[in-house]
Structure 1
Amino acid sequence: MTTSGFSAFTDTNEKEAPEAPIVNASIPVLAQQGYAETYEGAGEIGTASPRHPNGTIIIMHGYDPFCGPEPRARLGQLIASLYDYYDRRGYAIFAPTYNSWKTFVDCATDMGNALVKGGWPIHRTHMIGYSMGGLVCRKMVAEKFVQPLSLSTLCTPHTGTAPWVPTPTPGAMSLSPGSADIAWLNHNEDADRAIRDRYQAIGVCYDDKSGKTHHDDQLINGNSQLAQNLGFGKTPYFKFYEQRDANLLTIGGVHGDCQNWPFAGQLMRPLIEHIAAADARFG
């Protein structure tokens, strides 16, 4: 059962149901360990060394409405699991924090400069961005800081957030449906557009308690998450929530919970497979 206000949101999004088939995913978690062990022990995340000859996996967190000291916290186990998997395969993990109250354009400049200043191996890179982080990744490409072999986004507002999402900061405003920054990125950035066939946009929908499918994650509709009509190479569409109780469906809860285990663990396979396919493609 949903609230009356939430039902109104659903009515808006059902008119824009994506054409992509929904995957009812139940994928084993790869490289799963305890949160404290992996994340506290991951001090080398953010450090490149000679043992990373294959390049760098770049991971960008999403918008933090509280501008807290650790915006990666909820994404931490996914970052740590990717570190566990790729460190032994010769990849460094660049998973920095940034001030998401700034526009994604400014954040991309900040992160691009940090990548260059830190001397990270960017001859071979793969990028992963959650929510706002996906736009930060794309803008880093547009500004020619990096030309990744692959880029994966999760719950990213490629054409803007839903109309009901508040925009109290410049960062949130840059993600809105009428954002000039998003419009410019989608239609005027040649470096980004030239390699969109390398991009994977992962979208999320869910069922409510009545069994009704909502084609959004409560903050971003499915078509925006899947970058419809932008020419991305892959657009997998996952249903992470099934028959959830009403008290678990707080507004924005699905979007935020996609960062958490075990839901984020289901993303390990599509992320790893996309990176592996790009490595095979480009040698």
Structure 2
Amino acid sequence: MPIPENYMKAPHWSYSRLQKFATCSLQWAFQYYYKLEPEHKPLSLLFGGAFHSAATWIAINRKDGRRVDVTEAEDFFSECFLKECRSSENITFGDCNENGCDTLGRSMMACLLETWPDDETVIDAGLPFRVALTDYRGLPVSDKPMIGEFDLVSRLPDGTVAVIDWKTAARKWPADKASKDFQATCYLYAGWRDKGMDPEQTLFRYDVITKTAKPAVTRYPTMRKHDHFQRMLKLVGAVENAIKAEAFIPNESSYFCGDCVYAAACREWHRTQSKTISLPKAA
């Protein structure tokens, strides 16, 4: 089930919005503050969307007691991916053209399906959430909720509930990345506040599928404590203060730069006229 439209239309935070601000606040501002039209659409974005749609379809079928075969999974990915490509304009291709990405995606779907743990039980897939951002005293830190979607919720063989997120990546992750990644903090907070999941007993796991000639799946489990949640909430408050001050700066060493959809606007950023600030006269 996709995130409900009314969740999306109302003012909100999400993991991706917070992460984007932390990574490049100027790119965040171009998209959400100044509301500029994207200059292009990266093919990688369409690829990731199609991959997640196909993986969710596999999970829902497993939840319903049906095991799809490899060809079905590959064909479902191709259908989603080509539909995205046909309905999008001004696509930039990067290192992979449409046919090459379709072939790669089919291979990755086969890898995901063939390595799917048979001893894990699907509880739900594509599960949306919306949660108020409140501190340990129950006081709000923002008037905006945080929204998102759990890719997969599964029960592991030992009975542990795991929130699982599928990632596509050029290579395997460093060993310590999962323990530092911000998404696990946001999603386990949402699981606690919105779904009644005990954060001390709930696992978050990144299932990373490599975009390589021979794809591989590596699973990175991690957990979070209440102190992580308080740090996240502190960050939300800091971000909102920075937005009020219009403290938007480029991060020219960011991994976002490669296919940034606001690259031209960024190049012109320092040439634009500075905002005039009017201060009240002293009495």
TM-score interval for Structure 1 and Structure 2 normalised by the shorter chain: under 0.3
Q: Which has the higher helix share?
A: 2
Q: Which has the higher strand share?
A: 2
* TM-score, scaled relative to structure 2: 0.28
Larger Rg: 2
* TM-score, scaled relative to structure 1: 0.28
